[in-house]
Each structure stands twice: as C-alpha cells, then as structure tokens.
Amino acid sequence: MKDNERFDPTPLSLLPDAQFLAASPLTGGLTNRCWKLSLFHPSTQSAADYVWRPLTPSAYMFGVNRQHECQLLHTIAESGIAPIPYALLLPSSSMNESVLIVEWLEGKQAADDVSDAQLCQLQAQIHALALPEHRLEVKQRLSFYWQHIPEQFKSIQLVSIDHYFQAQSLPQYFSDTCCHFDLGRYNIIVPSDQKLLAQSEPVSLTVIDWEYAAAGDPSLDLTMTILANGLDPERAVMDYCRARQQYDDTFVVNLEYWLEAVSAWQPWCEYLALLWYLVGYQVWGDKDYLHQADILEQKLASLVN
C-alpha cells in the first residue's frame, strides 16, 4: 500500500485567503508521507510555507488522529516548542480524508549537536505543558495494531506474547502529563541560527510530528525516548529529573523510583514497537521492518518461555 504520490491542491479552495503556489514531498517520515506546502496570502501580499499532514490509509493504520493532533497543538501553541496549526480540513465532498496544515519550521534535524542531556531537558519541558484532552490507552493501541497485522505474521510465539501482555496489568507510577511518545532526534528541529551552548545547557529547540502525542504516564514517554535514542537509562533519568525540577517546583526527585518505572515500561515499549514494525511492513513493504520486529519478538519471547 502506498499513499498517493501526487499532490492534489483542490481542497485548498476551502481555505480563505490562501492561494496554492507549490508542494514538494517530504522525506524521512515513517508513519506518513507529508508535503511541504507554499501558499500565497492575498490579504498580506506574502507567501508562507506549511506542512500538509494528511490522514491517509497508512496513517490511520498507525492510530493517527489529526483532530486530536490539531487540538493538542492549539493547546500548547504559546509554548513555542511545536509548530502552530494553520488549518484542519475535515472530509467533505471535495476530499475523503482529514488534513492538518501546520507552520513550516526552518532549521535542521537534530543530530549529535543536541546532547543526551539536552534531549532529556526537552523531554521535561514537554511534560510541563498543558495536559491534552485525549489519552494514550496502551492496551487499546496494542489491540488496534494487532488488528492491522496480516495473519501470516501471527506466529504461535507472537500470539503467546500478545496473550501475556493482555493478561498483565499496566505499570502505574506517575500522574499523567503531556507526552510526545516519539521524541527521537529525527523529530527535533535545531533553528538555522542556533548557536549551541555547552552540552549540559538548554538550547532553543522545536519538536515536530505530534501525531502520537497524548496524555500519559511521563515515565512511559521517557522510556520510549531512551529506547528511540539509545540513551543510558540511569544517566537519562538523572538528566531528566534534574531538568524536571526547572519546570515544576513541586517535583520531587526519586531516582530509584524513576528507574524502576522505566524498567517496568521497557517491555511494553518494545512490544508496541514490535507491532508497529509489523504494521509498517504491511504499509510500506520494507523488509527491514520485519527484521526489527523479529529482533524484538525473540527478545520478548523470554517472557513466555
């Protein structure tokens, strides 16, 4: 299955004060294929760039909801940490999918120029944002992914792993915060004019791709960040807790409890990733997704053997 590789500007006629200039596909997105969009605004006689984020069939299979994403971006708009939503186009007679249009953020994708400590500082900053109205229900997301996996991949071992997780109680450690749930360096933008400071000091960074963001246990989000970026758990927890105190003066540091939470959430994150990779293979046909899923399946097999 592949999303439409041609851009159709017809829905843009629904927007006031916007004339289509150009569109080019963006590379690097795993969940979805987005477009960089240039619009001319007659009222100001100026042009601006945006990101066109559709709810394609593939995005739906990953559990994306553009209305939730738009709502959250409006909620945190004043933070300066995320792109500002420009418009949400809902399905109509002229289009069969919802589309979220957000501002284009100039800059470059973060790499080693953003340290692990700065990454954890950014995580703490996100957790201090206003709480989203919708919540990530982990078992529901697991079941949703399971429904979109072809039967030939549901081996006896994988079925046993699924039964194991469905029979377990979810870890419960901390009250919900705003969580991004995909805070990899690939979703962090460093402004073009940013002069990076010492690797332990805060820098001005922005975060894109909030499609998985929701309310949830911050230790679950931190665990996902640790795994996505290959961080050392002990160091990451220490950096995170130190940064969290900067944004929440009621936050009490308990490193051992946070490490316990991260350890408890790790297999859940790995199982979410396993199913995500299998859905990803169904969507894009990339055999590396199967390879990554197999690595995780063999690792989780120890839970049921």
pLDDT block averages, 10 residues each, the chain of length 305? 68 92 82 86 97 89 94 96 96 80 94 93 96 97 96 96 97 97 96 61 83 98 98 98 90 94 98 97 92 97 90
Residue 18 token pair? 């916007």
Asked whether 35 and 51 are in contact (CB, 8 A), the reply is yes
Please give the backbone phi and psi of residue 23, each rounded to the nearest 5 degrees, phi first. -150, 140
**pLDDT value at position 15?**
93
For the chain, strand residue ranges (E) read 19-25, 35-41, 46-54, 85-89, 99-103, 108-109, 177-179, 188-190, 206-207, 214-216
Q: How many CA atoms lie within 13 A of 144 on its CB side?
A: 14
Q: Thinking of the domain 10-104, which architecture would CATH place it in?
A: 2-Layer Sandwich (3.30)
* Residue 183 identity: L
Question: Would you state the pLDDT for residue 201?
Answer: 57
Q: Determine the topology of domain 109-303 in CATH.
A: Aminoglycoside 3'-phosphotransferase; Chain: A, domain 2 (3.90.1200)
**Residue 77: both structure tokens together:** 């708009």
User: What are the sequence ranges of the domains in the chain?
Assistant: 10-104, 109-303
Rounded CA-CA distance 206/84 in Å is 11
User: What pLDDT does residue 1 have?
Assistant: 38
